[in-house]
Structure 1
Amino acid sequence: MNVDIWTRDARTLATDAVAVFVFEEETPASPELTPFDAALPGLLPTVFGMEMRGKVGDIVTLHATSGLEAKRLILVGAGAREKFDYRALRQRSAQVARVAAKKGVTSLGIVLRDHLDPMLAAAAITDGVITGLYDPALYRKPKEDTTTITSLTLCLTPAMSAAEATVRQGVDRGITLAEAVNFARTLAQEPGNKLTPAEMARRAQAMAEREGLECTIFGRDRMAEMGMGALLAVGQGSAQEPQLIRLSYRPAGTNGDQGPRLAVVGKGITFDTGGICLKPRDAMWEMKYDMSGGAAVIGAMQAIARLKPPMAVDGYVAAAENMPSSTSYKPGDVLHSYDGKTIEVIDTDAEGRLVLCDALAYARKDGGATHILDLATLTGAVMVALGQERAGLMGTDSAFIESVKQAAAAAGEKVWPLPLDEEYGELMKSDIADIKNLGNRYAGSITAAWFLREFVEDVPWVHLDIAGVAWLDSDKPDMAKGPTGFGVRTVVQLAEQMAAAQVN
């Protein structure tokens, strides 16, 4: 998409449509709307208080016959001004882009509002428009008359005229984030017969070569030599070979040995049948998205490579396919993990924690991580607790937990902390091994996190259970149904946040 900046009067922008955000308390006489009211005499008052009340979700399209160079003026309800943050701006920008595209608009202008930082606002708008227009129909033949928005123009208010350079920086950042999110969404949308563990590794490697990252891929034989018995067990029932993917970013002129090193670990189950403990048929097809945590890691590493924070970051994806067969691992089996701990298998459908534990231990022991964040569609229990609005957050270090919470808030991705008290560990004790992979029916997302905790030891660690937020069951005003790319923005924000703290 081509993104331009307009520093003159927005009424003089020749485009298919110009969009203006409207707050609940505003009227056509409000300073930000007066120029458009003057350009379209008598038109705005006919819709205010009726179709347009400034509430989130309100959208009114006015066709301009004169007074505007644009063919249409789109009024977008933005809610209360005090609640209109960058997340809301991104969502409303995505919403208007989706509405406009359905009307055949190919060029869109959006007017920035003065009360927000110009650079961050530009990033949010650009990010929102690009992610809002994402089409998840990867294999559907496009209709001949299908059009989409190919040109976006950000219209600066007079008060922002001196900020053109910083707005351009925001645009570039927005493009980088949106492309990373959409990359993760594409990976998650791919069906299991297309995106096998090996194919996921191939796409990660292609991205690394393109973006200048180092990529190391461990296959079955190498992982067997290393003793990654937990990850290998999950994949042993499938004809598709499991993979451990490592993506490494190092700031220019350094080897990353000094200062903090962030490891981001993602669950990459490219298809999850549940294994011997077979899932029900209903909605099993959705289990192609059980690698959304790994997809978020790969997408985030692409963005980090482009944004270049001055801190070392490693991304790990534990990729496998969990299938039932004569070679599958079974309930009652005892596995030997890379960490050296033994694991009693209670449920083969609690496989995500098994692939993650070996990757977490590797990041800690061999990767030199000083901080570890993992992302996984780990439990249905987190959806029972938090629904589809927030990811569950658990961890071992209060300062690092707070850093991740701040990063998620700044990135506009909602999380909610859950406890990880010592008592929960009692539920994971095994009669035959060091730990078992499933507790009882209670606190499922917490006991799953407790299992992972055993493999990070004293390294500050945070776990994000993204099972409820990685996928949309239906279209939203700002996003198409399907994968969301949740986590990409949080990881990028966390890396930049940690790098800034190191520099300061």
Structure 2
Amino acid sequence: MEIRFVTAGGGDVVAVMATDGGELLAAGKALDTASSGRIVKAMKAANFKGGAGQVADILAPDGVDFARVLVIGVGKSDAADGMAVERWAGHAVKRVLTSGAEKLVLQPDALPSVSKAEAGSHAAMGARLAAYRFDTYRTKLKPEQKPSLTAVEISMDGPAAAKARAEKDAAVVEGVFFARDLVSEPPNVLYPESFAERLRDLETIGCDVEILEPAAMERLGMGALLGVAQGSSRPARLVAVKWNGGSKGSKPVALVGKGVTFDTGGISLKPGAGMDEMKGDMGGAAAVAGAMKAIALRKAKANVVGVVALVENMPGANAQRPGDIVNTMSGQTIEVLNTDAEGRLILADAVWYAQDKYDPSVLIDLATLTGAVIVALGHENAGMFANDEDLAHAITAAGQAEGEPVWRLPLSAAYDKLIDTPNADMKNIAGKPVAGSIVGAQFIKRFVKDGTPWAHLDIAGTAWKSGPYEDPLSPAWATGYGVRLLNRLIQNRYED
């Protein structure tokens, strides 16, 4: 779908804004005047109140050169921000994507906290994100199920500034789409080796990519990571993707992602119902991959390394058993009491490797780690844990700005003692159903070196959302959560 910025656009459908109370903004008022008040009359007939996401779909109004006018609410004007504009544009695209219309015209207006240029660039971002589909394996789509929309024109006075912003944002959209594609792929197509090869493709946009195979990981002592993988016929991979866009010699930001390409639970087998969703248990690795693509495409002036641990957790004849004790690259030992608490095992070695190899200025890991975080926070916020106040505040601000919110949860010695065991340096579960997300974070924290600012994002509730979901910027499955947050964090805090 093509995005164009124009000073005056014409097409099949036009979308304008209205605020809470059904108040049209400037572009909508102009259309209402041209239609001799028919737009407002139709809004009243539809009981349109201007709430965020509410749509009045007006067909063929006289005096307007469009077949349809979409009046879409952005909510209260003093609370509407850039994300409100994105969702406004997203609702418009979702409404017409398969409708038969070929061109949509968006007429964004400035809001109290959003300039006209910002509104234009956010509209482009929202339109792009809303148009995403994963149709790779759908061979029998009917014509009316296929997207008809080929172009979106953003019509506004002086579009140059908005266009420049939108061109930079397009790189971030590509990163989000990369992450969504990875999470959407079936596990017979995306497994550790094939995932690693897709990351190798990032070399074409300027990244350095290093892929470790099992023999190399064994030499490094990664017994926790390899232990998870040993039940599968698909061998593990650990991939490091480097972007050197900052000052030479400056320490990188390290991003670490959990990449379990399919998680059966191993010997501690998951229930069969819903197990198909475990193809998405590599959402953390996908977020890191998407962030690396975004920062490389926009040529970020920062040094960043993304490390992803890729395994398949299967209950094979050689699978890890509950009660096994494994060594880690750090030298610490782990008693594995539950093979379905595998994400923290692979992160133990990946987190240590990222620090040992790259000596980063800051370390952030992302993982679809626990179902407990969904119980606590639902699908609205990722759980955040951090050992550094400034980093925690920066992540919170980045997530808020990009529509990828986090909610901070605690760490303390009282929780940490729940993973002590007389048989090894630690065990991988508490052994009782308490504070599941916190226990997972405390486990990872034991592999963070003293003095390293670190944050852990448990994205189990936000990486994918099964079933109907009303966010117009996201499909019903893979969200690409984390790409925008990480990109904004690096842009705000770590670029030269």
Would the TM-score normalized by the shorter structure come out above 0.5?
yes
Q: 1:107 aligns with which of 103, 106, 127?
A: 103
Is 1:442 aligned to residue 441 of structure 2?
no
What amino acid does structure 1 have at the position aligned with 2:277?
E
User: 1:362 offset after TM fit, Å?
Assistant: 0.7
What amino acid does structure 2 have at the position aligned with 1:472?
K
User: 1:50 offset after TM fit, Å?
Assistant: 4.2
Q: 2:218 aligns with which of 220, 224, 241?
A: 224
- Secondary structure of 2:260 counterpart: strand
What amino acid does structure 2 have at the position aligned with 1:359?
A
The aligned counterpart of 1:406 is: 397
Deviations 1:65-104 (A, max 9, x none): 6533333221112111122112222222212101111322
CA contact (8 A) 1:128 1:178 kept: no
Deviations 1:413-450 (A, max 9, x none): 11100000121111010111111111131000001000
Q: 2:376 aligns with which of 374, 381, 385?
A: 385
What amino acid does structure 2 have at the position aligned with 1:475?
P
Deviations 1:19-60 (A, max 9, x none): 1011113445x6443211111123113223342210123212
CA contact (8 A) 1:125 1:174 kept: no
Give runs of aligned pairs for residues 83-122 of structure 1, distance below 5 A: 83-115=79-111, 116-122=114-120
Task: Point out where structure 1 has 5 or more consecutive residues left out of the alignment.
Answer: none
Deviations 1:197-219 (A, max 9, x none): 1010011111x122110000001
Q: 1:395 aligns with which of 366, 379, 386?
A: 386
Q: 1:356 aligns with which of 320, 327, 347?
A: 347
CA contact (8 A) 2:173 2:294 kept: no
The aligned counterpart of 1:424 is: 415
Deviations 1:203-252 (A, max 9, x none): 1111x122110000001111111111111000010000111011000017
Distance 2:238 2:117 in 1: 37
Distance 2:365 2:337 in 1: 23
- Secondary structure of 1:462 counterpart: strand
The aligned counterpart of 2:2 is: 2
User: 1:400 offset after TM fit, Å?
Assistant: 1.0
Distance 1:89 1:104 in 2: 24
TM-score, with normalisation over the residues of structure 1?
Answer: 0.93
CA contact (8 A) 2:228 2:319 kept: yes
Sort the Cα spacing of 1:382 and 1:58 in 2 relative to 1 into closer, same or farther, 3 A. same
What amino acid does structure 1 have at the position aligned with 2:154?
L
Sort the Cα spacing of 1:209 and 1:261 in 2 relative to 1 into closer, same or farther, 3 A. closer
The aligned counterpart of 2:233 is: 239
Is 1:476 aligned to residue 469 of structure 2?
yes
CA contact (8 A) 1:370 1:460 kept: yes
- Secondary structure of 1:18 counterpart: strand
What amino acid does structure 2 have at the position aligned with 1:39?
A
Distance 1:385 1:451 in 2: 19
Distance 1:149 1:173 in 2: 23
TM-score, with normalisation over the residues of structure 2?
Answer: 0.95
The aligned counterpart of 1:266 is: 257
The aligned counterpart of 2:154 is: 154
Distance 1:212 1:121 in 2: 31
How large is the Cα RMSD of the aligned pairs? 1.6
Distance 1:340 1:49 in 2: 69
User: 1:4 offset after TM fit, Å?
Assistant: 1.4
User: 1:62 offset after TM fit, Å?
Assistant: 2.1
Sort the Cα spacing of 1:27 and 1:495 in 2 relative to 1 into closer, same or farther, 3 A. closer
CA contact (8 A) 2:10 2:105 kept: no
User: 1:476 offset after TM fit, Å?
Assistant: 2.8
Deviations 1:340-379 (A, max 9, x none): 1111101000000011111100111111211011110000
Give runs of aligned pairs for residues 203-222 of structure 1, distance below 5 A: 203-206=198-201, 208-222=202-216
What amino acid does structure 2 have at the position aligned with 1:3?
I
Is 1:314 aligned to residue 313 of structure 2?
no
Q: 1:301 aligns with which of 279, 283, 292?
A: 292
The aligned counterpart of 2:197 is: 202
CA contact (8 A) 1:123 1:173 kept: no
Kindly report structure 1 stretches of 4+ aligned residues shifted beyond 6 Å: none
Give runs of aligned pairs for residues 168-179 of structure 1, distance below 5 A: 168-179=163-174
CA contact (8 A) 1:394 1:463 kept: yes
The aligned counterpart of 1:125 is: 123
Task: Point out where structure 2 has 5 or more consecutive residues left out of the alignment.
Answer: none
Sort the Cα spacing of 1:31 and 1:310 in 2 relative to 1 into closer, same or farther, 3 A. closer
Is 1:330 aligned to residue 321 of structure 2?
yes
CA contact (8 A) 1:268 1:320 kept: yes
Identical-residue share of aligned pairs (%): 36
- Secondary structure of 1:471 counterpart: coil
The aligned counterpart of 1:17 is: 13
Distance 2:17 2:123 in 1: 12
Give runs of aligned pairs for residues 247-258 of structure 1, distance below 5 A: 247-251=241-245, 254-255=247-248, 257-258=249-250
The aligned counterpart of 2:142 is: 143
- Secondary structure of 2:142 counterpart: coil
Is 1:461 aligned to residue 457 of structure 2?
no
- Secondary structure of 1:191 counterpart: coil
- Secondary structure of 1:407 counterpart: helix
Distance 1:378 1:147 in 2: 35
- Secondary structure of 2:355 counterpart: helix
CA contact (8 A) 2:98 2:149 kept: no
User: 1:136 offset after TM fit, Å?
Assistant: 2.8
CA contact (8 A) 1:127 1:177 kept: no
Mean alpha-carbon deviation: is it higher for 327-336 or for 144-153?
144-153
The aligned counterpart of 2:281 is: 290
What amino acid does structure 1 have at the position aligned with 2:76?
A
Distance 1:94 1:475 in 2: 16
Distance 1:91 1:341 in 2: 47
- Secondary structure of 1:48 counterpart: helix
CA contact (8 A) 2:13 2:69 kept: yes
User: 1:336 offset after TM fit, Å?
Assistant: 0.6
Give runs of aligned pairs for residues 272-283 of structure 1, distance below 5 A: 272-283=263-274
Q: 1:134 aligns with which of 132, 135, 140?
A: 132
User: 1:465 offset after TM fit, Å?
Assistant: 0.3
